Amino acid sequence: MKILVFIDNRKNILKKADLELAYYGHSVAKKHGGDVVAMVVGSGVNAGDLGKFGAKEVINVPYNGSYDVAVFSNMISQIADQTGAELIVLPHNSSGKPLIGWLASKMNISSVTGVINIPEYIDDKPVFKKGVFSSKAFAYVKTLTDIAVVSLMPNSFSPEEVGNPVDVKTIEIDGGLPKVKVVGVEKVEGKVPLPEADIIVSGGRGMKGPENWGILEELAEVLGAATACSRPVSDVNWRPHTEHVGQTGIVVRPNLYIALGISGAIQHLAGVNNSKTIVVINKDPEAPFFKAADYGIVADLFEVVPELTKALKEYKSEK
Ligand SMILES: Cc1cc2nc3c(=O)[nH]c(=O)nc-3n(C[C@H](O)[C@H](O)[C@H](O)COP(=O)(O)OP(=O)(O)OC[C@H]3O[C@@H](n4cnc5c(N)ncnc54)[C@H](O)[C@@H]3O)c2cc1C
């Protein structure tokens, strides 16, 4: 089976999510047989490194235009035809989410969004697992067409080095005329995007005010973590809305989620309950977040957090 993973490389950097895609393809191939072809749209800088994470072949399709689902799906469908791909894997992010429906419709193939597993085969067809109802339940979806496209949830698989860099083959493809043009982008610079973060330190109304965020940021810095918050915190502008996690915010799946002064309302948990380890610091022993926590500290965060940061700094300096 040929597995085609799609990577948007227009910014000249390979992100962790891109390595995850190659490694996911490798893991599927390892279990069910086959090879991974990585299709890298954009400059192709460093694209050969995808070989280290499981790609057997890397194809660069040069493109320096705007993001456009029509152009991208034309390119992907042509590479899928050329390589004989049976499974196409997109990232479940702002690039892959708008693309998957368009591509599935263009190729008349099955699609599953936000997959989190290596599929099992039932009657020769793959069955993918995905979170539903704000990740409070799982659905198992069998694709029925010979070719399928899925989008992979970030942080579902930790990429591991399994091979060596490979040569990059360049294939020019005319994806047609774009149907939209991006005329401006405003983004937060220099931060790990929350959906890709390994560790997140998050604050709620228990932080009392924006002037206290220094202790949260200091803890985040020592852990190399991204920062997040509950919705009321961003609603009152203590923190930007780009940090708001939950049902109406960003859904995250870090390896470690540390919640400071967050009650654990169901709408907040909907965005974080797939984190691998959850640590809750709250002074109310009845706070609902403790039911979802792997570790909990019942205490005043203003006493515990500086101590925790100090201990972590000491631990790091001893190593
Ligand atoms: C339709 C809808 C969608 C929503 N979507 C979201 C969403 O996406 N994300 C989201 O977060 N919320 C969402 N909400 C809001 C949600 O219901 C809660 O109101 C919100 O999550 C509560 O935020 P909080 O935990 O920061 O504040 P609070 O509920 O006020 O909790 C503060 C916590 O801090 C603790 N605390 C106070 N002082 C200290 C201290 N010194 N030390 C330690 N702990 C302390 C308290 O014990 C308390 O548990 C939504 C609500 C609705 C109706």
What mean pLDDT comes out for the span 223-251?
A: 95
The stretch 189-201 carries a mean pLDDT of: 83
> In this predicted structure, what is the pLDDT of residue 190?
61
In terms of pLDDT, which residue wins out, 194 or 79? 79
pLDDT of residue 196: 84
Cα 236 to ligand 1 centre (Å): 12
Question: Nearest 5 degrees, angle CA 159-CA 200-CA 15?
Answer: 35
pTM for the full predicted model: 0.78
pLDDT above 90 covers a percentage of the chain that reads 81
Q: How many CB atoms lie within 10 A of CB 282?
A: 25
Joined tokens for residue 110: 């099955």
Q: pLDDT, tens digit, for every residue of 132-148?
A: 887 778 999 999 999 99
- Indicate the pLDDT class of residue 127, thresholds 50, 70 and 90: very high
At the top level of CATH, the class of 2-170 is: alpha beta
Q: How far is the CA of 297 from the centre of ligand 1 (A)?
A: 17
Residue 184: partners with Cβ closer than 8 Å, 6 or more residues away: none
Closest Cα partner for 16 from 153, 277, 224, 197? Answer: 197
**What pLDDT score does 146 carry?**
96
Do 2-170 and 194-318 agree at the fold level?
A: yes
pLDDT computed for residue 10 by the predictor: 86
Residue 217: pLDDT above 90? Answer: yes
Domain 194-318 in CATH 3.40.50.1220? The answer is yes
CA 48 vs CA 4, 21, 76, 161, 173: distances in Å:
15, 14, 19, 13, 19
- Taking CA atoms only, the protein residue closest to ligand 1 atom 27 is 205
Average pLDDT, the chain: 94
User: Long-range contacts of range 186-191, CB-CB < 8 Å, 24 or more positions apart?
Assistant: 188/240, 188/242, 191/226
Q: Whose CA is nearest to atom 4 of ligand 1?
A: 267
Q: How far is the CA of 224 from the centre of ligand 1 (A)?
A: 24
Q: Looking at residue 125, what is its pLDDT? A: 95
* Ligand 1 center from residue 256 Cα (angstroms): 19
Report the C-alpha gap between 257 and 31 in whole angstroms.
31
Residue among 202, 233, 262 whose CB has most ligand 1 atoms within 8 A, to mutate: 262
Q: How far apart are CA 3 and CA 53, in angstroms?
A: 14
Q: Are 191 and 250 in contact (CB under 8 A)?
A: no
Q: Can you tell me which atom of ligand 1 is nearest the CA of 230? A: 11
Residue nearest ligand 1's atom 37 by CA: 206
> Which is more confidently placed, 37 or 11?
37
pLDDT at residue 319 is higher than 90:
no
Q: Per-residue b/e over 26-61, b at no fewer than 16 CB within 10 Å?
A: bbbbeeeebbbbbbbbbbbeebbbbbbbbbbbbbbb
Q: Whose CA is nearest to atom 31 of ligand 1?
A: 263
C-alpha–C-alpha distance, residues 280 and 303, integer Å: 14
Contacts of 33 by beta carbon, 8 Å cutoff, 6+ apart: 1
Closest of 11, 100, 92, 89 to residue 53, by C-alpha? 89
* Distance from the alpha carbon of residue 262 to the mean position of ligand 1, in angstroms: 5
Rounded distance from Cα 246 to ligand 1 centre (Å): 10
Of residues 65 and 232, the one with the higher pLDDT is 232
Going by C-alpha positions, the residue among 39, 53, 49 that lies closest to residue 13 is 49
Across the range 158-178, mean pLDDT stands at: 95
Kindly tell me if the per-residue pLDDT of 262 is higher than 90: yes
Give residue 207's identity as a one-letter amino acid code: M
Q: Where are the beta strands (DSSP E) in the chain?
A: 2-9, 35-42, 57-61, 85-91, 110-115, 120-122, 125-132, 137-142, 148-152, 168-170, 199-203, 226-229, 256-260, 277-282, 295-298
Question: Residue with structure tokens 């993973």?
Answer: 5
Q: How far is the CA of 203 from the centre of ligand 1 (A)?
A: 9
Q: Which of 135, 136, 205 to mutate to test the pocket of ligand 1 (most atoms within 8 A of CB)?
A: 205
- Kindly report, residue by residue over 26-72, the tens digit of the pLDDT: 999 999 999 999 999 998 889 999 999 999 999 999 998 889 999 99
pLDDT at 261: 98
Protein residues whose CB sits closer than 6 Å to any atom of ligand 1: 204-206, 230-233, 246-249, 261-263, 265, 267-268, 271, 281-284, 287, 300-302
Backbone angles phi, psi at 263, to 5 degrees: -70, -30
Distance between Cα 52 and ligand 1 center (Å) = 42
Task: Provide the percentage of residues in the chain whose pLDDT is more than 70.
Answer: 99
Q: Tell the residue nearest (CA) to atom 43 of ligand 1.
A: 282
Predicted pLDDT at 189: 64
pLDDT above 80 (res 84): yes
Domain edges within the chain:
2-170, 194-318
